[in-house]
Chains A and B, each alone.
Chain A
C-alpha cells in the first residue's frame, strides 16, 4: 500500500522569508500524481500545487514550487516570500492508479510577522 510521510509536524517562518516543507512517499507504481493541499484553520482544504510523476520539470505556482525527486520518492514544497495568509496545515498527498488520495499527517505552518 502507498504511504505518505511528512516528518515535520510543525514549521515556522518569518514573513517574507522562504520555507521548505518535506514529504516522502512509498509506492511501487510508476505513474502517479503528487499534490500539496493547504487547510487554513476552520476552512476548507484547497489545492496548492500538483505534480505528474512522468514530468521531470518541477511544478511552480507563483510563490509555491516543488522539488520532485522521483528516484528518492521525495516531494518537498517551497514557499517563497511567505505571507501571513500562508499560515495553515499543509498536506502532501499521493494518487496512483486508484481514485483515492493518500494523505500525510500534515505540517502546521506558522508565519511570524
Chain B
C-alpha cells in the first residue's frame, strides 16, 4: 500500500462545469476525510466518512458539493456548476478508527488542485 492516492492531481475547468475528484485511502483505514485548502490558509474540513456512511459534513459546504464512498473503499468528491471561488487544493485523508496508537492520526494524500477559469 503506497498511501493515500488522489486523482487527478491537477484540474483546470471553466466556470459552470462539473468536476469529480477521486481518493483511494489506505486499505485498512475505515475513516476518510475531505478538506479544502486555499493559498495561505490551513486546510478546512469538508466532510467525513466512516466506512460508507457520511457522518459529518461542514455547514460551509455548498449544495453544489457532494461526496460518496459507495463501498467503504474509494471516495469521490463532485463539484457541480463550478465557480471561481472553488479554486483550491482538495485534500483527502484517511485514518484508523478505534483507540489504538494509529487512531486520530490522519494520513493525507498529495491533493487535487482545481483551477476554475
Residues of A at the B interface (CB closer than 8 Å) are 4, 33, 35, 37, 43-47, 50, 91, 93, 95, 98-106
B74: interface (CB < 8 Å): no
* Contact between chains at B42 and A99 (CB < 8 Å): no
* Contact between chains at A91 and B109 (CB < 8 Å): no
Would you call the interface of chain B mostly helix, strand, loop, or mixed? Answer: loop
* Contact between chains at B110 and A47 (CB < 8 Å): no
Q: How many A-B residue pairs have CB under 8 A?
A: 51
User: How many residues from B make CB contacts under 8 Å with A?
Assistant: 24
Provide a sorted-by-A list of 12 A–B residue pairs whose CB atoms are within 8 angstroms. A44-B110, A46-B108, A50-B104, A95-B104, A99-B56, A100-B33, A100-B58, A101-B33, A101-B35, A103-B42, A105-B41, A105-B42
- Return the contact of B44 from the options A43, A50, A103 (Cβ within 8 A): A103
* Contact between chains at B108 and A101 (CB < 8 Å): no
- Bitwise, B92-105 to A at CB < 8 A (1) or not (0) is 00000000000011
CA distance A17 to B33 in the complex (A): 36
Residues of B at the A interface (CB closer than 8 Å) are 3-4, 31, 33, 35, 40-45, 48, 55-56, 58, 91, 104-111
Taking the closest CB of chain A, its distance from the CB of B16, in whole angstroms, is 29
Would you call the interface of chain A mostly helix, strand, loop, or mixed? Answer: strand
Taking the closest CB of chain B, its distance from the CB of A80, in whole angstroms, is 23
* Contact between chains at B104 and A104 (CB < 8 Å): no
Taking the closest CB of chain A, its distance from the CB of B57, in whole angstroms, is 10
Give the nearest-CB partner of A32 in chain B.
B104
Given contacts A47-B105, A100-B45, A100-B56, contact A105 B40 (CB under 8 A): yes
* Contact between chains at B109 and A101 (CB < 8 Å): no
CA distance A50 to B110 in the complex (A): 21
* Contact between chains at A99 and B48 (CB < 8 Å): yes
* Residues of chain A lying within 8 A (CB to CB) of residue B45: 100-102
Given contacts A91-B42, A102-B45, A104-B42, contact A50 B56 (CB under 8 A): no
CA distance A106 to B91 in the complex (A): 16
- Return the contact of A101 from the options B3, B40, B43, B55 (Cβ within 8 A): B43
Give the nearest-CB partner of B44 in chain A.
A103
